Amino acid sequence: MSNKNVTIFKNIGLGLVFLFGIISCEKDFEDIAVDLIDNKAFSVGDTLLEIISYNKNIISSRVDNNEAGKVPLSLLGVYQDKDFGYLKSALISQLSLPTLGVNFGDNAVIDLVVVDMPYLLKDTVVIKEITEDKDTIYENVKALDSIYGNRDREYNITVNELGTFLNTLDPLNPSKGMKYYSDKDYMIKDLLHHGSFKPNVNDTVLYVERKYLDDDPGTVDDIDTIKAEDLSPSIKFILDSNFFKNKFIDHQDSPVFDNNTSFNIYFRGLYIDANGVDGSIMNLTTTRAKMTIYYTNDIITNEGVDEDLNNNGINGEDDVVVKRKQTMHFSFGGVKTGKYIKDYNQPEIREALDFPNMDDGEQKLFIQGAAGSEAIIDLFPDELELEDLREKDWMINEANLTIYLDGDQKEIPSRLFLYNYAYGSMISDNYSFKFGPDVFGGVLEYDNNGKPEKYKFRITKYIKDILDKEDPKDPSILALKNFVNTDGFDPQVIDTIVRDYNWIPKGVVLKGNLPETDKERIKLEIYYSKSKLK
């Protein structure tokens, strides 16, 4: 056979595999079984299995960036949820030295010190105008993203010098990165900023008043207009200039500015905290966050023939002392972490988390990220029933775990994640090359009216392995959590460990396995084929 023919057959085969994959996603496997299996030899059927599900309080989430390839989003703000109670979060980060090092020059005077943290943005379509002919004209605009709660309510922000040194490596095991969890306490030192705050999509410009370009600091000599090239908005906190004069400028010749290691021991970072009864909480990426010192210093230069740079009435002088505007950036680098404080001030969720019914299960399941709560799921609580299922010797066509929302809810997760709680690992269907994350599911599904309805997981391979009569695998306890991007499977790395990161504060209340009369209770659906010849 020629290479050309081999290539054709390969392409046809790949096309058929792709087509079958599309069909299997769109059509119930029960129907596929009828189409593909000779019904003279096989019969098809389905069954519902009763399971046990209950709530689990998650005391803390991992919040550091010390693991390669796993970079969590930061969380900052305060949030009051009617189902899940109160959450506040602080953002903590070391700073990195400027690329060219620290040299403020002679007679440096600070004009302004500011922390700048870009918002997360999303594209959205809005109505620009309605014409005289009643035609609607739309336009694409940028909107703030990943902000939860009441955006119109102000709360307080404080920025302090961090007093705790942040380790990149674990002192007890230097071959591994240091893990930081959201319940860790930190020492804070000098207060650098205190003020009210609420998110503002129009916060795109910073004005820096320059008062030290002449001998009269009481007047504004110039104003710098600072904005991003793409005009994107950012959070800006003005810090205490006197602190940085004493801490940075007065020690600029010290070896503490020789490298980042020495610098992070000397100045350990910023502790940015939120306080208030209610407001909003937001995810941020600090990859472009920075602290900038705007200052003026003296430089020595030569005047041109027609120049009088020092305003002494004499042109063309050499070695003239002139004041110049300067800028120095310290990016958010090194270790970044955070601290969450939760208060389950709603009696229903507090009781569900403090006293879970692990024997009979629960009527409601509370799922929330950011050191919130998860649901524990036991698919086979009855060992005798499991043995009976194995003896049936079914060929498993599809197995689904379906979980319905408990009533109307807002700001719920767009995706949940089901994993092997007992081993802290992914379920085989999630990383199987035959199935994979897209088939595995967990994405929020909507009813015919466009209302959020349920989450569905296809765990066919996992159930097939457990019910294998000849070589069965032991079932394990599963858990349901809020999905974050560190939960995604990377086929290039082949890493099935589930990290305990979770920075999205959205929550959802789901129906549990009780009462048994509820048709929307959580359940395991199995579609199977059975040989008529046995």
Neighbour order of strands in the sheet with 452-458: 42-49, 523-531, 395-404, 452-458, 445-446
Q: What share of the chain in percent tops pLDDT 90?
A: 73
The token duo for 188 is 């804070």
Least confident of 22-31, 180-189, 359-368, 412-421: 22-31
Q: Quick check: 497 pLDDT over 80? A: yes
| 141 or 26: which leads in pLDDT | 141
- The per-residue pLDDT for 40 is 66
Residue-level pLDDT at 16: 42
Q: Report the SS3 class of residue 499.
A: coil
Residues 6+ apart with CB under 8 A from 99: none
- Mean pLDDT value across residues 168-191: 96
Encoded tokens for 375:
């649901």
Per residue in 79-130, pLDDT (tens digit) is: 999 999 999 999 999 999 999 999 999 999 999 999 999 999 998 877 777 7
**CA nearest to 502, candidates 445, 417, 425:** 417
Mean pLDDT across 176-195: 98
Confidence of residue 318 (pLDDT cuts 50, 70, 90): confident
pLDDT > 50? residue 28: no
Reported as a single tens digit per residue, the pLDDT across 2-23 is 443 434 333 444 444 444 444 4
Tens of pLDDT along 223-249? 999 998 888 999 999 999 999 999 999
pLDDT score of 11:
44
Condensed to tens digits (0 to 9), the pLDDT of residues 246-273 reads 999 999 999 999 999 999 999 999 999 9
Confidence of residue 436 (pLDDT cuts 50, 70, 90): low
Please state the rounded mean pLDDT for residues 40-45: 82
Structure confidence at residue 208 as a pLDDT band (50, 70, 90): very high
Query: Model pTM?
Result: 0.87
pLDDT at 214: 87
pLDDT in tens, 446-496: 999 999 999 999 999 999 999 998 899 999 999 999 999 999 887 777 788
pLDDT of residue 165: 98
**What's the pLDDT score for residue 437?**
64
- 365-390: per-residue pLDDT in tens? 999 999 999 999 999 999 999 999 99
Cβ atoms 386, 463 nearer than 8 A: no
CA angle 429, 533, 526 (to 5 degrees): 30
List pLDDT tens digits, range 278-314: 999 999 999 999 999 999 999 888 878 787 777 777 8
As a whole number of angstroms, the distance between CA 530 and CA 39 comes to 10
The per-residue pLDDT for 8 is 37
Q: What is the 3-state secondary structure of 421-435? A: CCCCEECHHHHCCCC
Query: What's the CA angle centered on 241, arms 240 and 246, to 5 degrees?
Result: 105
Q: Is the peptide bond before 199 cis (omega within 30 degrees of 0)?
A: no
pLDDT reading at 152 higher than 80: yes
